[in-house]
A = this chain, B = another copy of it.
């Protein structure tokens, strides 16, 4: 296939678009791959659409390869199934809702658990029908509060979503593993650098869940990885290693100190170090943070969270830990209603003594001694020992994770990184099967409740994610499997001989099965070279001055390496370069 730039619907831009901040957004617009139509809504121009389709094809191949079956749902969906699972409400302002001419409620599907569940229920009835995995590659909609970074976070985007339906938990584990393996093959084929992080579930509820993050400074997701192992996780999913319990017997008795003017951990530590003969650090103090939470359909209730004083409570980790409850910080009204809470000096006594649930950091193991509030203004207690002087109602792992923390797998320490979520695999369990009574009739004629998995890949986002990992100051650099063409033939000069030679090379390459982008425009060589670098086809063939000496130049876009190749050998050479 030959695409001639003389007629291609492509106009590159020399300037970055004003609204673009991240490299992929700037370059995809400048190179004429996408154009903005509305906030979070982009059109795909010819080269962009090709890259998108190439990615789509890789995803489809790998899904089909493990037996997933492609179907397609409408994007415009009736409200009822989403009401049945309460997601019509739960999505809040994050989905697009509309009414039809008769006033019936619809939404633009953000994800299709409900429809897939209902469809399987409609077709299948016997245990012999299962397992089955269905998928679609389909346009999805989310009314993002802040669409950003071009196609990286749009409001209309292309997604592969799949759903597995199994009779048993073991079956679900297998389906999950099948997807995990397929995703690894997909992202490897796309040439991405990525990590697989343990994740929490977001709004979907359920158990095992991992995210595939393309490593990129501009990514919205932060994660931590070990300096010495393959461990990687969202901060929400990091588990703090639990230290061994200590002996209680050798601990001094708890003692209340008058600690005037110590409203902060720092002032408290300074005061104690100045006024006692011991040396304390912030890590020796226990900070009791009051929050409130609300389970669906219930009233707000208070919760106290204890974390070592050298760490803040990470609100994202807190939300994830308490899901599906809603969480909020307490305010003055809450303190006013609960006068036993002495702000700045709260201790376990007032908390537990007044029936407030008290959850502590995993570091608060039996035998650890803490400095904490004495439930009285300007007073703290020293040597309050867990398991002796107080016993939290449970453990909650929500303290901030820091670079340098030990990796949960015991190997190395954690460092922070950023990534773009490109895939998510998730064991839903029976939530949706319960909502719609999806049962199979078992061999004993008894119903078996189906268990499900849900798996997504952001297909259009991948275009941006790949671009984020593969560019330089001159433009895009596409991995071979996704590039809009195999070879970019640049006719570098206005001489008719050069043009004829370029056409001839293009034809021979095309006949050999390669996709060729042929720059047959009347523009100057400089303009053409700049456009070739910007557009980012991995191999560039320059038909220029050398032709009269029987050579053309083959340039590798990524390395910048140039090589003169004899005219007679160039087609064979390029076929070898492209096919690997």
Query: CB within 8 Å of B: which residues of A?
Result: 7-11, 32, 35, 37-39, 41-46, 49, 52, 67, 69-78, 93-94, 96-98, 100-101, 106, 108, 115, 119, 122-124, 132, 134, 139, 141, 143, 145, 155-156
A74-B42 in contact (CB<8A): yes
Closest to A45 in B: B71
Q: Can you offer 26 A-B residue contacts whose CB atoms are under 8 A?
A: A7-B132, A8-B69, A9-B71, A9-B123, A9-B132, A10-B123, A11-B123, A37-B73, A38-B74, A38-B78, A41-B74, A41-B76, A41-B77, A43-B71, A43-B73, A43-B115, A45-B123, A46-B69, A49-B71, A49-B72, A74-B156, A75-B139, A75-B156, A76-B156, A96-B98, A97-B98
Contact call B76/A155, Cβ cutoff below 8 A:
yes
Complex-state Cα separation, A43 to B78, whole angstroms: 13
Nearest CB in chain B to that of A32: its residue: B123
For the residues of A in contact with B, the DSSP-based class is mixed
Complex Cα distance A98/B10, Å? 32
- In the bound complex, how far is the Cα of B8 from the Cα of A132, in angstroms? 9
**Chain B residues with CB under 8 A of A100:** 39, 96, 143, 155
**Contacts A49-B71, A69-B8, A71-B9 given; does A119 touch B43 at CB 8 Å:** yes
CB distance from A369 to the nearest CB of B (A): 50
Residues of chain B lying within 8 A (CB to CB) of residue A119: 35, 43
> How many copies make up the complex?
2
Contact in complex: B7, A143 (CB < 8 Å): no
Which chain B residues border A11 with CB–CB below 8 Å? Answer: 123-124
Known: A37-B77, A49-B72, A93-B101. 13 other contacts (CB 8 A): A9-B71, A11-B124, A32-B123, A38-B74, A38-B76, A39-B100, A41-B78, A43-B73, A45-B71, A74-B156, A75-B156, A94-B101, A101-B145
- Decide: A37 and B78 in contact? CB cutoff 8 A: yes
Residues of B contacting A67 with CB < 8 Å? Answer: 7
Residue of B nearest to A8 (CB): B69
Residues of B within 8 A of A124 (CB): 11
- List, in ascending order, chain B residues with CB within 8 A of A155's CB: 76, 100
Docked-complex contact B98 and A71, CB < 8 angstroms:
no
Given contacts A8-B69, A43-B115, A101-B143, contact A96 B122 (CB under 8 A): no
* Contacting residues, chain B, for A94 (C-beta < 8 A): 101
Please name the 5 residue pairs, one residue from A and one from B, whose CB atoms are nearest each other, closest first: A98-B98, A41-B74, A44-B72, A93-B101, A38-B78
- Determine the distance from Cα of A475 to Cα of B8 in the docked complex, in whole angstroms: 45
* A52 to B: closest C-beta gap in Å: 8
Chain B residues contacting A32 (CB-CB under 8 Å) are 123
**What are the residues of chain B within 8 A of A42 when measuring CB–CB?**
74
Docked complex Cα distance between A44 and B94 (Å) = 27
Is the CB–CB distance between B69 and A9 below 8 Å? yes
- Which of B46, B76, B97 is in CB contact (< 8 Å) with A71? B46
Cα of A132 to Cα of B41 in the assembled complex, Å = 24
Residues on B with beta carbons closer than 8 Å to the beta carbon of A72: 43-44, 49, 52
- What residues of B have a CB within 8 angstroms of the CB of A39 in the complex? 100
Q: Are A46 and B74 in contact, CB atoms less than 8 angstroms apart? A: no
CB atoms of B123 and A76 under 8 A apart: no
Q: If the complex has contacts A37-B77, A78-B38, A156-B76, are A71 and B44 also in contact, measured as CB distance less than 8 A? A: yes
Measured between alpha carbons, how far is A258 from B299 in the docked complex, in Å? 88
Smallest Cβ-Cβ distance to A522: which chain B residue? B128
A67 to B132, CA, bound (A): 42
Chain B residues with CB below 8 A from A156, complex form? 74-76
Give chain B residues whose Cβ lies under 8 Å from the Cβ of A123: 9-11, 32, 45
Q: Which B residues are in CB contact (< 8 Å) with A96?
A: 76, 98, 100, 106
How close is A315's CB to chain B, nearest CB, in angstroms?
Answer: 23
Decide: A115 and B37 in contact? CB cutoff 8 A.
Answer: yes
**Contact call A108/B76, Cβ cutoff below 8 A:** yes
What residues of chain B lie closer than 8 Å to A71, measured between beta carbons? 9, 43-46, 49
CA distance A72 to B42 in the complex (A): 9
Best-buried of A7, A9, A123 by chain B (most CB within 10 Å):
A9
A97: which B residues are within 8 A, CB to CB?
98
- CB closest chain-B residue, reference A41: B74
Chain B residue numbers with a CB within 8 Å of A141 are: 76
Expressed in whole angstroms, the Cα–Cα distance for A10 and B123 within the complex equals: 7
Task: Report the bound CA distance from A132 to B45 in whole Å.
Answer: 13
Question: Which residues does chain B contribute within 8 Å of A7, judged by CB atoms?
Answer: 67, 132
Question: In the complex, A74 Cα to B36 Cα: how many Å?
Answer: 10
CB distance from A70 to the nearest CB of B (A): 6
Closest residue of B by beta carbon distance from A7: B67
Alpha-carbon gap, A26 to B515, bound state (A): 43
Per the bound structure, the CA–CA distance linking A11 and B129 in Å amounts to 10
In the bound assembly, the distance between CA atoms of A10 and B120 in angstroms comes to 10
Taking the closest CB of chain B, its distance from the CB of A459, in whole angstroms, is 12
Pairwise interchain contact A70-B46, C-beta atoms closer than 8 A: yes
Residue of B35, B93, B98, B143 near A122 (CB, 8 A) is: B35
A145 / chain B contacts, CB cutoff of 8 Å:
101
User: In the assembled complex, which residues on chain B have CB atoms less than 8 Å from the CB atom of A41?
Assistant: 74, 76-78
Q: In the complex the two chains form, is A38's CB within 8 Å of B106's CB?
A: yes
**Cβ of A96 to closest chain B Cβ, rounded Å:** 6
Which residue among A52, A101, A155 has the maximum number of chain B CB atoms within 10 Å of its CB? A101
Bound complex: CA A106 to CA B96 (Å): 10
